[in-house]
Every structure is written in structure tokens, then in C-alpha cells.
Structure 1
Amino acid sequence: MNDPFFIKARVADKITYYHLVVFVIALPFDRLYSELALGSLFVHTLIHLQRKDMRVFGWKDLLVASSVYLLTLAATAYSQYRSEAFSEWERQAALLLFPLIVLLNRFEFRRYVLNIVLASAFVCALTIVYLYFSAFSNIAAHHLRVSAIFSNAFLNHNFAAPIDMHATYFSMYITLGAAGCVFAFLGPGTKTRKVFYAAMFLVLLMGLIQLSSRAVLISFAVIMNIVVPCFWIGAVKRKRYVLVSLLATAALAFVLTKTEALKTRFTVELKEDLTKSDATNNLLEPRVARWSAAKDLMLQSPVYGHGSGSEIPLLREVYYEHKLYNSFLNYLNIHNQYLSMVIKTGLIGLSVLLFTLCAGFKRAVQRRDGLFFSFLVIVSIVCFSENVLDGNKGIFFFAAFYSLFYIDKKRMATQK
């Protein structure tokens, strides 16, 4: 079933489904809309909750899906930064609410995950069209050449500026949507639908290039060259697909290196971001400088960390000592979810995060669920460059789709 906006179901289930649709299409925009959709969905779930729904309640799945949030609660006990910790409780609440919604609601969430992903992809594609319209309007207004679209003024965060959206998080939504388009294109359907999915995929790819998130483009390449042939292409056609896919990836990389701004973004800036620089140069402080500066901080409490809410207060002290004044003044986090877990909850926290991801990968492989595997690839790779579970847009993305993909109420009912 690939129609993302219409389903045949009882009224209560339709309301649940359209809540989800509203939630995912609101993700690229102001967080208030997603928060309202999530809160309304949770209330709707409680209103229709019946005692028999609790008979198939999956406690194990709840613990896995909300493990990071439960760890945040526990690590507040020894944190010296209680107010910051309570702020984390509020930000990460979706990590608990979404698994509860999926477990307490009788709606067959997994049956409609592809629909939800395609709805997200459709809105992302429309948003990209709007962003290109906005960019070219500015180019025309300032009498610039059309080629200026590939200048720094219209790449990465500057391209996403009209919707006030972080380029990397928007790129994550786009990549999952692109994977959904590929899956829908390769599945059963009319020729018209397949053409539509192909066109939507191309628009999403254009958006990914313009947003130029290096981590997400790496995950996109992994999905197209590894996940798609392993999960969705038959053995007979697999070699041919891999050859064509690798050639297309190489051609795209070649084109990117021929555009000066993109070449700088993907080669020069990448090298700088992964090279420690001193505080006297003119570069923005690269991630590796922050990682290196925080090394002693992590070694001070390697097992259980410094507690919830401790990351930024402690990092600001470290930044100041190492003369990373830009990071200090802008209250920047470490921009690496794995290292963030070590700072706040030590190796225990890192193990919990890795366990959650590995549990998802294991279930995706068991079910031959390439879409779930693609989602985990995106999250796992972006976690190297962003604190995915510290920002509202990353938390909502992870909480919603991990719960929708991971929790299977039909399996629970069978086991009961």
C-alpha cells in the first residue's frame, strides 16, 4: 500500500494515521507543529486505550526503544547540573512517548511505515522546490548568474535558511524519503506511480546536493550502493545494479569536484574539519579540535560520565582553556553523539546507544527490512558528526521512525 494520504481503516485508526502524517510532514518546519501533533496523538491514544491492549504490551521493546531516555533519567541522580538535566528530560521526552504510543495503540503501525516515509518524502520534495524558488528569486533580484546557485551563498545552511532548518537534519529526512522512493519504485505499482517516485527521487537528490551535508551524503551512498542491492534487488540483477550504481556515484562525485564551491565543501572543508587547527588561524574550529579538547574531560569519569545536562557546561570550560572561543561563545556541543554519551554517561551510556542501534540492525536483517536498515545507516553515520539525540529535530526523527520500524505488535500477539 503506497498511497501516503489515504487509507481504508476504522475511524480511530484513520485519526491515528493522519496524526502521524501531520507529524512527519511538519518535521522540516517549526518544531511547534510536530510537538502539537505528537501531543494530540498521545492524548488520542490514551482516549482509545482499552484494558485488552495491555495484554500484548511489549516491555522489552519499550526498554530498547526508550533506553537512551531512561539512561538520561538515571544519570540525573549524580549530575551537578540538574536544571540542564531536566531540560534534557523535556527535549528527549519523545524517546519515551513514541514507543508508548506504538505499544498502546491498536493501529498497525508497521503496515503503514512506507506510507509515512513517502508522505515525508513528498513534503520534503515540495520544500526543496520552494527552496530552489527562493534561491533563484534572490539570484534574479541581485542580478547574479544562474551558476551562483552552486556558490557558498546558496549551499548547506544558506540553502535551508528560508525554513530555518538545520541542513544536516533536513538531509536526514530527505535521504530516508529517497530510500522510500526507491523501495516503492522497485515494488509493485502502475507505470505512472513509478514515474512519480522516480521524479520525486531526483528532486530529493538535487536537494541533498544543494544542502551538501557530508555525513548524510555518505549514508546516501551506502544505502544506494549496499543496502538497496542487498535488500531489494534479486541475485540475478544485483551485479548489474551495483555496477551502474557505482558508476553513477563516481559520476556524481566527479561533477561535484568540478564545481568550485562544492569541491571546497567536500574536499578542502572536510580535510579541515578532520584536522586539528590552532586558535590563531582564520578557520572555524573544526570538530576534531573539540573532540581532542574534550579527551581529558571524558577520561575524568570514563565509566558513568558526569551526569545528564553536563556536556555543554563542562565543554565551555574546556573550550576556554584550549582557546576555542567560537565554540565557547556559541555554547556548541561536541558534535558527535557517541562522544556526547561518553561525557554524560560514560562507557555505560555509549554501550546503551550502541546496543539500541545494534538491536535495530539485528531486527532489520531478520525481517529483511531494507527501509529500517537504511534509517539506521543514516542515524549511525550522522551520529559521528552531530549530537542527533540532543536536538529536537534529531530526537523526533529517531524516536518516531525507530519506534515505527522496531516495534511489531503482531509478533507480540503471536507470542502471547
Structure 2
Amino acid sequence: MSKGKLFFYSLCLVALLIPFDMVVTKLFVAISFILWAVSSIKYIRYEWGVYGKFLFLFASLYLINIPGLILTEDMDAGYLRLESRLSYLIFPLLVFFSDLDRHQLRAICYAFIVGLSICSFISLAEAGYNMLSAPPDVRSFDQITYLNLVDFLDLHPSFVTVFVSFAVFFIAYDLYTYAASTLKRGILIGLAAYLCVFNFLLQSRAPLAAFVFIVLAFVLVLVIRSQINARMAIAGIIVLLVVVGIVVFNSKSVVTRMQLGLDDAAAIAMKSDFEIDNSASSSLSTVYHLRSWYCAIDLLSDHHFFTGYGSGDEKDVLQPCYESHGWVIMMHERQNAHNEYLSSMIRTGITELLLLVGCLFIPCLMALRSQNYLYVAFLLMWMATFLFNTLNLQSALFFFTMFNAILFRMMKLNQLGRTDIQVPNKER
């Protein structure tokens, strides 16, 4: 077996393992890098003109952490962040400068979907077992929703929702783009429907709202362009809504979490923890977000808007604000800014924010011009998720950087009318 094939299979294993265990995943990332170095590094000279500037664009979110160390007081956290953000550089290198073709890139995406599906089945089975094992008087359908559903994954539901949404988007894109047998289409449609229901059970409000909006928006676009039958689209949406409705409205916790309680949250956000009534607990998630945003914006109201506080000091500089307002829980949990855009500014100021926005919006505009709706949907999901979460989990960071690079390469191959890299045969 060639070294190029081994490199491809190692990337498939990385994608498969992302939802599972990060220790093993990191090992295969290291193996992938070694295989790339011995088999594909030579392709840099052939593809630098196509991908070079975009490598710098994506890698800038890693490089910005180096000058960010100058202002950092917590050097251990700064170095840890520098190490964890290395994937911003590694995955674009591995994907852009290789001979991976469209079919191999699709296979890597399907490897991730297989891994995610296995994880979701195990998670649902574990939650279902725990529900059935509970005493009858406390047994509830709510025990297979939200945090109860992600115990096995050890991930926040927000990021699992992004993973699942991407899987649904990719399956829809693949069915729309490539011919498939009736059996394969049936299996993929069934899997997509299952993942949609799983998404609603996760109850992560912002990513879920973004998922629904993106699905409806793209269905509308395709209907207007007469690329899909309007009746079939409407029928499919109705069936999905009926299934989801049965799941959602049989669960009190789902209904409760979908009631945002913004008025209640705004009214109690500035109160100390000792003044909050337990009856407002359904709004606490929103309260924590409002509080962290308030503190983050306050911290950026002076010259730190331009400079930030340093790569590793985000949580440290937020603690005095939490403490001064009596937000004891947030202080003891050392909560972050709950917003990647604000978090980037706390670290290294307006520079990192502009780089982050550039890494999201420049590819999104390119994808829109190319009518690459899969990549657009992927980026829109992350834009929405970053409003309410920070990219602080290694698995989420690996997923974002790896599939951002893969979808970007797929888009460029389509733009150039190629299936893979163009190199002399003697160099392959």
C-alpha cells in the first residue's frame, strides 16, 4: 500500500474518532502529519499559488496567539492555548497540499458521519437505559434529552448539534449531487431523519435555530430555482415537523428550554446569585450568557479593545467582574465569555476578531459565488454557534479546522474543474 493511501486512511480514522476520544484522535493526527511529510509535502510547490494565501488566512488564528503571549500573565494557559490551536495550521497543511481527490474527501466526511452515528446510537441507548432503570415515579422522557443525552460524548450539546447538523447537510448535499441506488438513498434518508430527531432532543437552542433556518432557507432557494419539486419539499418538511413535534411536545424539558425567557433573564441578569429565585432556573442559561457578555464588553471599553489581555488570561480577567456583582457560580466555575467573537477580543483585541471574521466571511462569500451551499451551511452554523459559545473544546476545534479545510478544498476543486491535484505523473 502506498504512503499516499496510508495518509488518506489515517485522515479517515481522525474523522471517525473526533466524536469519541481525543487522546487517540491526537495520536492519529500526529501519524497523519508524519505520513503527509513523507508522501505529500512535495505538493506544496504545485498548489501554493491556489492555496498559499488561504493557508495564511486560516493559520493566522494560530499565529495571533504568539504575540498574544507578550501580554499574558498566566503563561501556562497561554502556552496551552498555543498548543491547542495548532490545528488551525496543521489541517490546512494536510488537506490543501496533498493529492486527496473529491472521492477521498467525500469518504473522509462519511467516516465522520459513521463515527458520529455510532456515538449517537450509544448515547441514546445509554440515556434510554438510564431512563428505564429509574424508579417509575421519577421516570420521564426528559431523561433522554439535553445533557442526559451527551454523557457518553462528554461534549456540550451545542457542539454536538453542530456535528449532527453538518452530517444532515452533507447527506442532503451528497444525495442531491451524486447518483445512488434506491437502497443507499433510503438508508441515507433514514439516517438523516434520525439525526434530525436527535438534533431536537439535544435542545441546544442557538445552533438548533440556525439549523432549522438554514434548512428552510436552502429548500426555498432550491424550490425557487426549480431544482427540486415544491410539493416534495413541502411534504418532506411537514413529515419532519410532525415527527419532531411528537418528540418535542411529549417532553416538558424540551418545551421549557425552547421558551427563551428573555424578559425574565434580562430582569434578573444583574442581580446577585443570592437574589435569584429558583423559579427562574429555566432562564439561568440565558442569564449566564448576558452576564458574561456584560463583563466582556466592560473589559473591552478601554485600550484593551485594541490590544486584548493576552492569549491565556480570558478567564482570569473575567473573574473580578463576576465577583464584584455577586455572581458566585460563574466565578467558581471560571466561566468564559460565552461568545467566540468577544473571547477573541479579550485575548488579542480587534486584530483576532478581524481575523476570525475574515476566516468565516471570506470563504462564505466565495462559496456563495460558487453556489457551494454545503460550505455556506457549514460556515453559517459556526457563525451562529460562535455567538453563544467559545471554541474551547479540542474535539470541536478539530472538527471546525479539519472540515473547514476539506470543504474549502472541495470548493476549489469544483471551481478549477478538477478532481484532484495537477502534478506531473513522474512526481506522483
Normalised by the size of structure 2, how large is the TM-score?
Answer: 0.85
Shift of 1:52: 5.4
The 8 Å contact of residues 77 and 313 in structure 2, kept in 1 or not, is answered as: yes
Instruction: Identify the residue that residue 226 of structure 1 maps to in structure 2.
Output: 217
Paired with 2:110 and 2:233, the residues of 1 have a C-alpha distance of 24
The separation in 2 between residues aligned to 1:114 and 1:274, in whole angstroms, is: 45
What one-letter code is carried by the residue in structure 1 that aligns with 2:129? S
How far does the alpha carbon of each residue in 1:92-145 deviate from its partner, in whole angstroms, 9 at most, with x for none? 11111111112332323x543333222222222222222222122222222438
1:399 equivalent to 2:391? Answer no
Identify the residue that residue 28 of structure 1 maps to in structure 2.
19
The reply on whether 1:81 has 2:74 as its aligned counterpart is yes
Alignment of 1:145-224 (within 5 A): 148-149=140-141, 151=142, 153-186=143-176, 187-224=178-215
Give the structure 2 partner of residue 19 of structure 1. 10
1:354-373 equivalences in 2 (<5 Å): 354-373=357-376
Report the Cα distance in structure 2 between the residues aligned to 1:373 and 1:268, rounded to whole angstroms. 27
Structure 1 CA distance for aligned equivalents of residues 207 and 113 of structure 2: 15
Q: Which runs of no fewer than 5 residues in structure 2 stay unpaired?
A: 424-428
Q: 1:194 to 1:369 in 2, by over 3 A?
A: same
* Amino acid across the alignment from 2:26: E
What fraction of aligned residue pairs are identical, expressed as a percent? Answer: 19
Alignment pair present for 1:304 and 2:307: yes
- Cα-to-partner distance string for 1:344-392 (whole Å, 9 max, x where unaligned): 122222111111101110221233222111110111111011102x321
| C-alpha contact (below 8 Å) 1:185/1:194 kept by paired residues | yes
1:6 alignment counterpart:
none
Task: Indicate the residue corresponding to 1:383 in structure 2.
Answer: 386
Correspondence 1:119 to 2:111: yes
Q: Secondary structure at the match of 2:64?
A: helix
* Alpha-carbon spacing, 1:369–1:260, altered in 2? closer, same or farther (3 Å): same
* Separation in 1, partners of 2:125, 2:42: 51
Residue 71, structure 1, aligned to residue 71, structure 2: no
Q: Does 1:92 align with 2:85?
A: yes
The answer to whether the 8 Å contact 1:72/1:89 transfers is yes
Q: TM-score, normalised by structure 1?
A: 0.87
Q: 1:325 to 1:404 in 2, by over 3 A?
A: same
Cα offset for 1:326?
Answer: 0.9
Count of aligned residue pairs for this structure pair: 403
Give yes or no for the alignment of 1:287 onto 2:257.
no
Q: Distance in 2 between matches of 1:275 and 1:127?
A: 39
CA distance in 2, matches of 1:274, 1:235: 44
Q: Which moved more, 1:395-404 or 1:211-220?
A: 211-220
Cα separation, 2, equivalents of 1:232 and 1:47: 47
The one-letter amino acid paired with 2:333 is: N
RMSD: 2.9
Cα 1:342–1:242 change in 2 (3 A) is: farther
Q: Does 1:266 align with 2:266?
A: no
Tell me, in whole angstroms, the C-alpha distance in 1 between the residues paired with 2:267 and 2:9.
46
Shift, 1:275, TM fit = 6.1
Contact 1:131 1:160 in 2 (8 A): yes
1:80 Cα deviation from its structure 2 partner: 3.2
